[in-house]
Amino acid sequence: MKEPQITVEIRKPGKPGSIRAFADVSLSFPDGKLDLIGFAVVGQPGKSPWVAFPSNHGQNKYFQVVDAKGRLRDQIIKSVLVAYEQWDERQ
Amino acid at 38: G
Domain 5-90, what fold? Arylsulfatase, C-terminal domain (3.30.1120)
Is the pTM here over 0.75, yes or no?
yes
Per-residue pLDDT of the chain (91 residues; tens, 9 = 90+): 678 999 999 999 999 999 999 999 999 999 999 999 999 999 999 999 999 999 998 889 989 999 999 999 999 999 999 999 999 999 8
Alpha-carbon distance of 87 to 44, in angstroms, equals 18
- What 8-state DSSP symbol labels residue 77? H
- Contact present, 54 and 39 (Cβ < 8 Å): yes
- Per-residue CA distances from 17 to 13, 21, 42 (Å): 9, 10, 9
Q: Domain locations in the chain?
A: 5-90
- What 8-state DSSP symbol labels residue 45? T
Alpha-carbon distance of 54 to 68, in angstroms, equals 11
